[in-house]
Every structure is written in structure tokens, then in C-alpha cells.
């Protein structure tokens, strides 16, 4: 791959389309390995810039300000890079595993987030061999649950102390009064995070549908954000019923 060449999506599509399936999969693996390497180098570079502090000469107050101004990164991207870079302080092997392609970008982000947890992050080094093994061997969704579970157990005296109670008292229901349906429920943070992620994905699909309609006919979206979320929830239920 020559990054000095001007990128053309059509050229890449034609090239990949002409490959046999095995070649297409090999290309995915090649690009994923490259993505992991680039993410690791970016994170280490960000951490080094932060430690050097030379950005003040350019009028920036922090490495976050540098990334906003120079790379036009979102706050989410910046947070991931900063946290991953900080792993170099006491867990450099994790960054090396990312750069060498042993574990993925999302898995590393989860470990970096756990390390940044002010209540239990300092305990991560004691369990990192187990967690990196899980990052390597498990599907991402399963690994993510393992990390969240570790945080709950490690932070027994902190914010997650009541998580077990929240899980035990979980409940959900729907009532219909005066022709109007009312949803209510509560549960543990892990389950709630998973529910929200699924709901958000379906809501985004509803938004894209509205965007297609608006682009074709009018600039106004046909539904409000709240209406899209309700319709997304209905689609989740209908999809599950038809599975």
C-alpha cells in the first residue's frame, strides 16, 4: 500500500472485487493489522507530545487542544488516544500487543478506559494477563462484558457497589392508559448499556431512513427524534418476534 498515491474508492472496489474470496479476506486482515499499528503509533505519539509539553510554544494548552486544532478529531477520538497512550506509563505491553496486531483497537480502548477508572484502574496491572488473553480469544461483545464485570468486582467499594442490587431489582413493564402506552423499567448498568447500544443502532437506522426521504423530497425530516426512538424500539421488538 502506497499512501503517497491519491485514494480512489472506485479503484479499491474494483481491485477487491476482482479477487477471490480468500484474497478479499486476506486484504481485510492486512488492513486491520495496519489499523492496529497506526492506532498504537498514534497513541504513543500523543502520549509523548503530552509529556514533552512543547505544544505550549504554539499556544496550545494541552495535547487535546493540539488534536482538536491540527487533526480536527472528535472528543471521543481524542479520549481514546489519550487513554491508550497513558497505558505506556505502566502497561506498555498492551500497546505493544495492539501495535503488533495481537489485540484489536476496540479491545485496547476498553482496557484503557478501565485503566483510567479512578476507583479501580490501579488494580488493572494485577489482572492484565488474563484480560489481554480474553481480548485475544473472545469475540468483542463477550470481552467487553468481561472488562465491565472486572470493573464491578474491582470497584466493590465504589460506584459499582450497588450494581448487584440494581440487577436483582430489575423490572420492566408497559401499561396502556387512556389509549396511550407507557413504558417503564430499570436495571443494572451493564444490561442498560447493552440495551442503549442496541436501541441507538436501530434509532440511527431510522434517522438514515428519514434522511433519505428528506433528501429526495424536502429538507425537513418527517419524524422527531423522539418518534424515531419509539419506532426503533418497535422495530427491535418486531425483529425479535420474527427471529
pLDDT value at position 166? 75
pLDDT value at position 217? 58
pLDDT value at position 129? 94
Residue with cell 463477550: 142
pLDDT value at position 229? 95
Sequential DSSP letters for the chain: --TTSPP-HHHHHHHHHTS-HHHHHHHHHHHHHHHHHHHHHHHHHHHHHHHH-GGGGGT-SSHHHHHHHHH---HHHHHHHHHHHHHHHH-HHHHHHHHTTSS-HHHHHHHHHHHH-TTTGGGGGGGHHHHHHHHHHS-HHHHHHHHHHHHHHHTTTTTTTTHHHHHHT-EEEEEEETTEEEEEEE--HHHHHHHHHHHHHHHHHHHHHHHHHHHHT-SS-SS-HHHHHHHHHHHHHHHHHT-
pLDDT value at position 119? 86
Which among 27, 37, 47 has a CA at the least distance from the CA of 102? Answer: 37
What is the C-alpha to C-alpha distance for residues 38 and 57, in angstroms, rounded to an integer? Answer: 27
The answer, yes or no, to whether residue 34 has pLDDT greater than 90, is: yes
Domain spans, the chain: 9-161, 168-241
Least confident of 36-40, 58-62, 131-135, 188-192: 188-192
Q: What is the pLDDT of residues 198-236, one digit of tens each?
A: 999 999 999 999 988 887 656 688 899 999 999 999 999
What is the C-alpha to C-alpha distance for residues 112 and 39, in angstroms, rounded to an integer? Answer: 13
Average pLDDT score, the chain: 91
User: What whole-number percentage of the chain has pLDDT above 90?
Assistant: 73
pLDDT value at position 159? 55
pLDDT value at position 19? 97
Radius of gyration of the chain (CA): 22
pLDDT value at position 161? 55
Work out the angle between the directed axes of helices 140-154 and 189-216 (0-180°, nearest 10). 140
3-state SS string for 65-87: HHHHHHHCCCHHHHHHHHHHHHH
CB-based burial label for 94 (10 Å; 0-12, 13-18, 19+): buried
pTM of the full structure: 0.65
pLDDT value at position 160? 54
Please state the length of the chain.
Answer: 243
Q: What is the pLDDT of residues 151-195, one digit of tens each?
A: 888 877 655 556 666 777 788 989 898 899 999 898 888 889 889
Residues 202/236, Cβ–Cβ less than 8 Å: yes
Q: What is the pLDDT of residues 83-104, one digit of tens each?
A: 999 999 999 999 999 999 999 9
pLDDT value at position 215? 73
The answer, yes or no, to whether residue 29 has pLDDT greater than 60, is: yes
pLDDT value at position 153? 84
Amino acid at each position: 500500500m502506497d499512501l503517497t498515491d491519491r485514494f480512489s474508492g472506485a479503484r479499491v472496489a474494483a481491485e477487491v472485487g476482482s479477487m477471490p474470496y480468500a484474497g478479499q479476506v486476506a486484504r481485510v486482515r492486512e488492513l486491520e493489522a495496519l489499523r492496529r499499528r497506526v492506532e498504537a503509533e498514534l497513541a504513543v505519539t500523543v502520549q509523548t507530545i503530552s509529556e514533552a509539553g512543547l505544544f505550549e510554544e504554539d499556544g496550545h494548552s494541552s495535547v487535546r487542544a493540539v488534536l482538536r486544532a491540527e487533526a480536527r478529531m472528535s472528543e471521543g477520538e481524542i479520549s481514546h488516544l489519550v487513554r491508550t497512550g497513558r497505558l505506556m506509563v505502566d502497561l506498555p505491553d498492551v500497546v505493544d500487543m495492539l501495535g503488533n496486531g495481537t489485540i484489536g483497537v476496540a479491545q485496547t480502548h476498553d482496557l484503557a478506559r478501565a485503566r483510567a477508572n479512578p476507583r479501580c484502574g490501579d488494580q488493572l496491572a494485577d489482572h492484565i494477563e488474563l484480560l489481554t488473553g480474553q481480548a485475544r480469544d473472545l469475540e468483542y461483545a463477550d470481552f467487553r462484558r468481561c472488562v465491565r464485570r472486572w470493573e464491578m468486582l474491582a470497584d466493590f467499594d465504589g460506584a459499582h457497589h450497588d450494581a448487584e442490587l440494581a440487577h436483582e431489582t430489575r423490572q420492566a413493564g408497559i401499561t396502556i392508559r387512556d389509549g396511550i402506552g407507557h413504558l417503564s423499567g430499570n436495571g443494572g448498568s451493564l444490561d442498560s448499556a447493552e440495551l442503549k447500544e442496541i436501541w441507538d443502532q436501530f434509532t440511527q437506522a431510522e434517522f438514515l431512513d428519514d434522511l433519505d426521504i428528506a433528501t429526495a423530497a424536502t429538507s425537513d425530516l418527517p419524524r422527531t427524534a423522539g418518534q424515531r426512538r419509539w419506532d426503533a424500539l418497535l422495530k427491535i421488538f418486531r425483529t425479535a418476534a420474527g427471529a
